[in-house]
Amino acid sequence: MKNLLLLMLTTLSINIACAQDQPKSFSANDLKKMADAKMFKFTAKDATLPVDRSGTTPATGSDRTEDNHKTLSAGYYTSITPDSVVSYLPYYDKTETHGTDENASTTVVEDPSKSVATTYDYQVKQKKNGTVTINIKPKGGKVTKYVIQLQPNGTANIDATIDDFKVIKYGGTFTN
C-alpha cells in the first residue's frame, strides 16, 4: 500500500513539473490586450549569437553548436510594465582561449547584464495569425532596441540590439 501511494505521488509530481514547463496559450484578442497594456514577462530559454564574419574568434566550446545557438540556464528574463523595461539577459562579447597552439580552443563568455529603462518608445502591431510584434526603443541602458514577437501558443522571440551594434536573438516563453 505504501509503495502504491509513493508511486502515485511521484507520478503526480512529475506531471505537475512537466505541465509547468509548457507555455500557456492565448487568444489573439488577449495577446493584443496584453501587449497594449505593457504587462508581460518573457523568460529566455535559448540564445542565438551573431556570427563572427571575420573568423577571428571561432567558438568551439562544448556548450555551443555550429549555428551559434546556446541553451540558457534558468533566470534570464525581460519584464515589460507601463513604467519600465527591465531585462536580465546574457550578453556575449568576450572570449576566453584555453590551451596553447594547435590545442587551443576559444569559448564565448556569457556575461549576464541587467538593463533598466524607465522611458522608452513602444509600438505594437498584430498580424492576421494573431502574432504580436512589439518594437521598444529604451532611452538609456545597454540594450538600445528590442523587437519582441509574441505567439498565440505562448512562445516568444526577442531580438535585442546591444550597444547599437550587436543583435542577439533570444527564444522562450511569456506570461502575463
Residue 22 CA to residue 2 CA, distance in Å, equals: 31
With a cut of 70, say whether residue 93 has pLDDT above it: no
pTM for this structure?
Answer: 0.73
- Sequence-separated (6 or more) residues with CB below 8 Å from residue 34: 26, 40, 150, 176
Domain range summary for the chain, segments of one domain joined by +: 23-175
* Arch. (CATH architecture) of 23-175: Beta Barrel (2.40)
Residues 42-66: pLDDT tens digits?
999 999 887 655 544 444 343 444 5
Three-state SS string over 119-156 comes to CEEEEEEECCCCCEEEEEEECCCCEEEEEEEECCCCEE
